[in-house]
């Protein structure tokens, strides 16, 4: 039945398949179905202009699909371009090196700091509230800090 439909439509079957695949590409993310749609349209053009058996058309479609997908990936694939903001989604990395005023004292190695509208846990040497501290690293969401100026232990 499918073979009869393909033979009755001839090369137009490939045009229909190509347009359906391009329509699926609009709904699906990425460039995956685009190349199959392009391959089907090329086979459709060749099947309308040159009479060749449907088995050869399917083989040509398979080969052309693979070639188009590989070429598309080669020329339009993801590039490893350097980011203009490499710490965009790394909030703790964005804070590294900045100085802030300590909101709560660091006692027994643990304290809190307010940065913008967030309160962060900090770890470092015991420091009184109101002291200036510098963020030197992070352990997950815990900020590692050190006093901006050396502490006087009189």
Ranges of residues in the chain whose predicted pLDDT is under 70: 1-3, 5-9, 77-81, 85-88, 149-154
| pLDDT, tens digit, 9 for 90 and up, residues 123-145 | 999 999 889 999 999 888 899 99
pLDDT of residue 94: 81
pLDDT of residue 81: 66
What DSSP line would sit under the chain, residue for residue?
-HHHHHHHHTTHHHHHHHHHHHHHHHHSSSSHHHHHHHHHHHHHHHHHHS---HHHHHHHHHHHHHHHHHHHHHHHS---PPPS-TTTT-HHHHHTT-EEE-SS-BBTTEEEEEETTEEEEEESS-B-TT-EEEEEEEETTEEEEEESSPPP--
């Amino acid at each position: 039945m499918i073979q009869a439909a393909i033979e009755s439509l001839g090369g137009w079957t490939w045009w229909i398949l190509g347009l359906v695949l391009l329509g699926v590409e609009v709904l699906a993310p990425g460039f995956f179905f685009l190349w199959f749609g392009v391959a089907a349209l090329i086979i459709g053009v060749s099947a309308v202009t040159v009479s060749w058996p449907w088995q050869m058309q399917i083989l040509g479609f398979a080969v052309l699909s693979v070639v188009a997908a590989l070429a598309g990936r080669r020329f339009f694939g993801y590039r490893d371009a350097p980011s203009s903001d490499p710490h965009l989604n790394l909030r703790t990395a964005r804070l590294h090196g900045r100085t802030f005023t300590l909101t709560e004292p660091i006692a027994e190695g643990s304290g809190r700091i307010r940065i913008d509208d967030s309160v962060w846990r900090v770890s470092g040497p015991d420091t009184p509230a109101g002291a200036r501290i510098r963020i030197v690293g992070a352990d997950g969401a815990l900020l590692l800090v050190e006093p901006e100026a050396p502490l006087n232990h009189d």
